Amino acid sequence: MQRFMITGGYSLSGAVRVSGSKNATLPIMAASLLLDGKCVIRGVPRLRDVAVMRDVLVYLGASVVWEKDVMRIDARRVNCHEVSEELMRRMRASNLVLGPLVGRFRCARISYPGGCNIGSRPMNLHLKGMQAMGVGITEKFGYISARAEKLQGSEIYLDLPSVGATENLMMAAVLAEGKTVIKNAAREPEIVDLQNFLNNMGAKIRGAGTDTVKITGVNSLHGTEHSVIPDRIEAGTHMVAAAITRGDILIANIIPEHLEPVINKLREAGVYVEVKDDQVRVAADKRPRAVDIKTMAYPGFPTDMQPQFMALMTVAEGTSVITETIFENRYKHVMELRRMGADINLEGHTAVVRGVPELTGAYVEASDLRAGAALVLAAMGAENGTVLDHVGHIDRGYERLENKYNALGARIIRVHS
């Protein structure tokens, strides 16, 4: 078990570079399974989730060499189509191998990922889409088995724009016969990155980034090299870090368009945000104004930024209404923020946050990745010291977050207990 000892009250200043996107890297790594050959992925962040996906690929028979931020994957020897419960439990996103395994081998068996700390997260849309492509699905003993004599392109309508279902179905469709059209697809930038990777391997996909993705099946793919996009959620987290510590920082390696909802909300809250090419400067010298947010699928305000933004709103002038519409249980940080003196009233999907002048340090626990990030931000902006337990969750999605913030003037010590 690892914890952070955080001494609050230091304004962040200086420059920080954003790593490659976790949510782009994971499906791209999974997509490498489609290829009876080798590919190279650059800009790979050193994250716990990426290490788990590497273990999944190796378990399936791939060779993976990961040096610094470059990953070389050779999937020629993949000979297993099953992902164990142990691996699936370590990371939900392991379910992204279902589409590529079905696409290449016409069969796969994965343990059902189940719910997690933020919601029940079913896979019904992934499975319904595959069934429409002629895949037989059976669910037994906690495992999903998928088998197809022939994988047939099809028209698929998603009841809601699920990121994972869009990605899994795109990957399954690449080597299918004929054309697949995914309607009401998710539009997240990570889906565009996956499309670019797959097209670089010889796939024929159009429309990622819109609500209709069209995939024309091809007979074979070839090796490629690809650089993943920067992590927009990491960038957004740093932006809030600058605001909550009344700091002034330059965040490098961003795609400004991907950050529009966060940039606009921060500006509305009175935070100074200056975008220049692939960098953004964020500065604040007073409490933010309270603003309301409602999480939505991209290009709406990202659910993965809701906890961090709530941390900022706990010290805003006025009352903010935060509505979580994507995950039914993404409010575990509320209890912990309250321990730090936040005034938050939770009713169903809505949190009413009455800003207080300052938070105070406390003993708190990270229940999941973004809740953990939110507590780091709250603690950096708080009076006195905070002990933040279970920081392993944070390592799932941030590369040594404490090193990045300490380089900007924060005081965070990682303790192994």
Ligand X SMILES: CC(=O)N[C@H]1[C@@H](OP(=O)(O)OP(=O)(O)OC[C@H]2O[C@@H](n3ccc(=O)[nH]c3=O)[C@H](O)[C@@H]2O)O[C@H](CO)[C@@H](O)[C@@H]1O
Ligand Y SMILES: C=C(OP(=O)(O)O)C(=O)O
Residues forming contacts to ligand X in the complex (CB under 6 A) are 23, 26, 93, 119, 121-126, 160, 162-165, 186, 190, 303-304, 326-327
Q: Binding site annotation covers 285?
A: no
Q: Which does 165 bind (CB under 5 to 8 A by kind): ligand X, ligand Y, none?
A: ligand X
Q: Which does 11 bind (CB under 5 to 8 A by kind): ligand X, ligand Y, none?
A: none
Q: Which is nearer to ligand X, 56 or 382 (CB)?
A: 56
Q: Is 39 a catalytic residue?
A: no
Minimal distance in Å, beta carbon 189 to ligand X? Answer: 11
Q: Binding site annotation covers 326?
A: yes
Active-site residue (options: 39, 80, 107, 116): 116
Q: Which is nearer to ligand X, 75 or 93 (CB)?
A: 93
Residues 6+ apart with CB under 8 A from 347: none
Does residue 258 belong to the site contacting ligand Y (CB under 6 A)?
Answer: no
Which residue in 48, 54, 81, 92 binds ligand Y (CB under 6 A)? 92
Residues 360-399 that bind ligand Y (CB under 6 A): 369-370, 397
Q: Which is nearer to ligand X, 169 or 174 (CB)?
A: 169
Residues 6+ apart with CB under 8 A from 131: 137
Which residue in 188, 234, 304, 399 binds ligand Y (CB under 6 A)? 304
Minimal distance in Å, beta carbon 287 to ligand X? Answer: 28
Minimal distance in Å, beta carbon 381 to ligand X? Answer: 24
Q: Which is nearer to ligand X, 74 or 167 (CB)?
A: 167
Q: Which does 397 bind (CB under 5 to 8 A by kind): ligand Y, ligand X, none?
A: ligand Y
Distances (CA, A) of 352 to 115, 302, 314, 349: 26, 18, 10, 10
Q: Binding site annotation covers 22?
A: yes
Which residue is listed with tokens 């509305």? Answer: 268
Residues 6+ apart with CB under 8 A from 388: 3, 4, 6, 364, 365, 366, 372, 375, 376, 379
Q: Which is nearer to ligand X, 232 or 404 (CB)?
A: 232
Minimal distance in Å, beta carbon 297 to ligand X? Answer: 7
Q: Binding site annotation covers 253?
A: no
Return the residue nearest ligand X (CB atom). 164
Q: Binding site annotation covers 244?
A: no
Catalytic residues: 116
Contact residues: ligand Y, CB under 6 A: 92-93, 118, 304, 369-370, 397
Residues annotated in a binding site for phosphoenolpyruvate: 22-23
